[in-house]
Structure 1
Amino acid sequence: MEDLIFLDLKKPSKADLQKGLWAFISISYSREQADSHMPAIGEVHSLRESSRQISLKALSDANADDSVGLLARYARLLTSMGSRFGTAVDEALRRTEAQLAFTWNDALRPEAKCTLSQLGFERACAMFNLAAALSYRATIQNTADADGLRAACQDFQHAAGCLDAAVGSAAGTRWATYKGLTLDVRPAAFEGFRALMLAQAPLPAALFGAEPALC
């Protein structure tokens, strides 16, 4: 398995998740509940800030696992918030000064950026970055032996699963058809990247001992 291809990371700009989420809970529920949830809100904000510091230049054999774990944790939190609040958080924050805006650069053309307030957009971008980190980790596995080959193929398959989740975040949403959306997070691009990941993971299922699961 030579010349394996990984995805580049998208770079997010700062976003005050702590202020924005506190405002949403305060408006939708109460100030008391918003205050009581400050530790959890702070955790989400800290995770995003930590994930912003990850770059491909910083990834290595030593910290690739930690980076994948951190990005996965942030993506799971966004998924949980999306399941609980839906688009209510977006609608509420449009009516306040604490509007939560997310800005991400294009992974293929870093000079291009897109800013949207939708939490689903943030989740799709986070899923993209998790897929990128998984695809990078796949390329540094030792594919000369069966264990390394298995690990690389699983990472590519999990990356494809994350891109599937990104497509799900975009399905039926207004932001997915926004004209200013960067090319790398359009639904067709997610599908193309997913196909690329799977094309690099043609490992026979027999080597897994079971059918591998996508993330």
Structure 2
Amino acid sequence: MLITETAVPDVFRIDPEPLPDHRGRFYEAVRRGPLEAAVGHSVEVRQVHCTVSGRNVLRGLHATTLPPGQAKILTCVRGAALTMVVDMRVGSPGFGRYEAVRQDAPSGTALYLPDGIGLGYVALADDTCMNYLCTEEYVPGMVIDVDALDPELGLPWGLTGDPVRSARDAAAPSLRAAAAAGILPTYEDCLRVRTSVPAPPDRTRL
């Protein structure tokens, strides 16, 4: 697999390298060793969940509070989605920076998002299923909402009509308003959490 850092600091794109044969193909979606080597700390999955969305459903932008935080690996396992990741860490050198990534089942492209990164996506096909591998279990009240259509962010959703959104997502504040309200995590806090996670072992010695 090919793991590359995106334009948003500490967010990594994971592109599998499929091995085709007459039966179909095989690929490794995520391998713990190379991922941990890229991000610089251990990654332990504690919860797995999925969303299923119809075409033109827009979810997000969502981040999580600290504590508990919740880093995640996101993959599209059915259908297709245009995914946006936004740096919401107050004080980050990349604050407000975004990356747009198309994810679909055939490509297997995944994204690793650390704490403090906002996530949103629009389904490009009916019955689109997104799979999350999360480092922490969900706790009620942990989700931070920011408007995915915030004009100041100007995310390139490519919408041709009004998206389908939850009432909560539609009422979410702008990134600037969320920062002013003090509900966003700081870059220092996110860095502290990341550096407190044990580094992966030196696998060259195993």
Fold-level similarity (TM above 0.5): no
**More helix per residue:** 1
Q: Which one has more relative contact order, counting CA pairs under 8 Å at least 6 apart?
A: 2
Greater C-alpha radius of gyration = 1
- Interval containing the TM-score (normalised by the shorter chain): under 0.3
TM-score normalised to structure 2 length: 0.26
TM-score, normalization by structure 1: 0.25
> Whose strand fraction is larger, Structure 1's or Structure 2's?
2
